[in-house]
């Protein structure tokens, strides 16, 4: 049964009613069904999913909702409840995704295209959709992946196909790469595998999730630093992905492994039978701290520049000339260890749990800032402010370079924490002060992506939105 608080349930149903009205205005008919996909906050485990390591996120209540109907038109008519976003109409057989211009509709089309291709649909149905989102864009809370997941889910539903949550998550993770970022799959996985009331350890290859019960006595607070970061619009993210890929190959070659087939730092560890702590030592022994030039990498691996550019670099990292391998690899193995320790502390639920988790979060932020260099001055300032305001742990969440921090705050100091963060970070700056209401909020683990029947929404008073049918891998939605 859904554990949504009555207030959230009412808000969601109000949004569904408004969405229905908009849909009727726009398309002159009622929606056939609705789809829901949540954003997420990552508690720990940053920039390690694409290296094959487990991460520890939870879904948040902010989400993407879509109202949908189908017809034989062979077109997709897409509108957004927010008038700032343009409507589009495209043919179902000709979905073009413009990487150079990563606008909202392309994320939607990524999800549609991924599921169409997976299902091998010869004649996908035409769809009319109105989308309404409450995940703040470019804030590190996965608004783009929630949109991809929502589109993937509704495409399967519209074509009357049932896919498991795991298949949907993997398909949406793959298809979001059509936009150009080589993401790792955390965001899509938690969007489909989340469950109310619990964070999840998400592991890859094969994709699976395990409940992580967070200790009582503390809450997680999200705070947006008010610097926007659209990871598809810059090459920061993909540069980190290729730095990790090159570090994988240089480490593997130094240990006599078949380096050419290894792509992820997480693949080197089992080949060497080493612990994560030993992997950190190996990084220190093998890699040097100065950035590597292209020439040095080619020399280390015995490859040509052409081979480096074609087989290892991605299209938007062709211009990069310096690669920090030591720092990136050291972050990845260290952060992978912190995720496992975070879970172990939660499982043990000892008296010191909150302090121990706080320390892991602080170390994670320091590693993101100093080794992975995915923070920014505003994120660092906000993390410091949160720690000085009573948080036991605070760290950037998501890709970084802007967006949000997540802090762990003892329940009994929550009010003074919020007050002090408002006074120190938001109120002194007019732009931040204007954004404060949607930028600082307490969050709880929310439920997963699911579809909602159209009939239910027409009921009044507000109907319950169906919760996730099952939590674990391999269960149909």
> Which chain residues interact with ligand GLA by CB under 6 A?
42, 46-47, 49-50, 142, 145, 183-187, 398-399
* Cα 444–Cα 445–Cα 451 angle in degrees, nearest 5: 120
CB of 55 vs ligand GLA, minimal distance in Å = 7
CA distance 447 to 468: 6
CB of 50 to ligand GLA, least distance (A): 5
Lookup: tokens for 158: 């519209």
Nearer to ligand GLA, 223 or 353 (CB): 223
> 145 or 389, CB closer to ligand GLA?
145
Please, what is the minimum distance in Å from the beta carbon of residue 114 to ligand GLA?
Answer: 15
For the CB of residue 300, give the shortest distance to ligand GLA in the complex, in Å. Answer: 26
Alpha carbon distances (Å) from 3 to 8, 9, 174, 286, 446:
10, 9, 31, 50, 9
Among 49, 132, 187, 363, the one annotated catalytic: 187
Q: Minimum distance between the CB of residue 193 and ligand GLA, rounded to whole angstroms?
A: 14
Tell me the helix, strand and coil percentages in the chain, rounded to 5.
45, 20, 35
Q: Which is nearer to ligand GLA, 52 or 454 (CB)?
A: 52
Token pair 């207030």 in the structure block, residue: 7
* Beta carbons within 8 Å of 54's beta carbon, 6+ residues apart: 45, 48, 201, 202, 203, 204, 336, 339, 340
Q: Which residues pair with 476 in a beta bridge?
A: 164
Nearer to ligand GLA, 70 or 135 (CB): 135
Question: Is 187 marked active-site?
Answer: yes
Beta-carbon neighbour count of residue 166 at 10 Å?
19
Please provide the DSSP assignment of 419-463 as one string. Answer: HHHIIIIITTSHHHHHHHHHHEEEE------EEEEHHHHT-SS-P
Task: Give the residue with the Cβ less far from ligand GLA, 60 or 399.
Answer: 399
Beta bridge partners of 23: none
* Residues annotated as part of the active site: 187
């Amino acid at each position: 049964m859904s554990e949504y608080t009555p207030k959230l349930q009412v808000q969601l149903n109000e949004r569904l009613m408004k969405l229905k009205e908009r849909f009727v205005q726009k398309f002159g008919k009622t929606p056939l069904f609705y789809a829901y996909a949540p954003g997420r906050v990552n508690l720990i485990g940053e920039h390690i999913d694409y290296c094959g390591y487990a991460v520890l996120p939870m879904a948040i209540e902010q989400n993407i909702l879509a109202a949908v109907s189908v017809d034989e038109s062979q077109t997709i008519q897409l509108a957004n409840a927010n008038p700032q976003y343009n409507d589009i109409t495209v043919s179902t057989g000709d979905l073009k995704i413009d990487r150079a211009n990563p606008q909202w509709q392309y994320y939607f089309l990524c999800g549609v295209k991924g599921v169409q291709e997976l299902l091998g649909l010869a004649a996908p149905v035409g769809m009319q959709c109105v989308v309404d989102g409450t995940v703040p864009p470019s804030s590190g809370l996965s608004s783009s992946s929630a949109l991809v997941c929502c589109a993937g889910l509704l495409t399967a539903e519209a074509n009357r196909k049932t896919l498991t949550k795991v298949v949907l998550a993997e398909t949406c993770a793959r298809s979001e790469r059509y936009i150009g970022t080589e993401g790792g799959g955390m965001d899509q996985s938690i969007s489909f595998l989340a469950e109310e009331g619990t964070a999840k350890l998400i592991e890859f290859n094969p994709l699976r999730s395990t409940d992580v019960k967070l200790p009582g006595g503390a809450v997680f607070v999200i705070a947006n630093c008010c610097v926007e970061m659209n990871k598809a619009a810059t090459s920061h993210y993909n540069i980190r992905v290729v730095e990790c890929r090159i570090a994988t190959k240089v480490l593997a070659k130094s240990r006599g492994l078949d380096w050419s087939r290894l792509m992820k730092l997480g693949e080197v560890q089992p080949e060497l039978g080493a612990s994560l702590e030993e992997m950190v030592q190996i990084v220190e022994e093998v890699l040097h701290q100065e950035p590597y030039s292209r020439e040095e990498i080619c020399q280390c691996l015995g490859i040509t520049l052409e081979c480096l550019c074609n087989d290892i670099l991605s299209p938007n990292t062709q211009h990069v000339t310096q690669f920090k391998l030591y720092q990136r690899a050291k972050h990845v193995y260290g952060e992978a260890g912190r995720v496992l320790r975070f879970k172990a502390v939660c499982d043990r639920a000892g008296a010191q749990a909150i302090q121990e988790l706080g320390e892991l979060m602080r170390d994670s932020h320091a590693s993101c800032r100093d080794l992975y260099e995915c923070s920014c001055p505003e994120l660092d300032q906000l993390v410091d402010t949160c720690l000085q305001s009573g948080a036991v742990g605070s760290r950037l969440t998501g890709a970084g370079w802007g967006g949000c921090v997540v802090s762990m705050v003892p329940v009994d100091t929550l009010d003074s924490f919020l007050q002090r963060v408002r006074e120190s970070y938001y109120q002194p700056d007019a732009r931040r002060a204007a954004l404060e209401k949607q930028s600082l909020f307490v969050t709880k683990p929310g439920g997963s992506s699911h579809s909602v029947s159209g009939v239910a929404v027409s009921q009044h008073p507000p109907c319950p939105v169906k919760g996730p049918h099952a939590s674990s891998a391999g269960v149909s939605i």
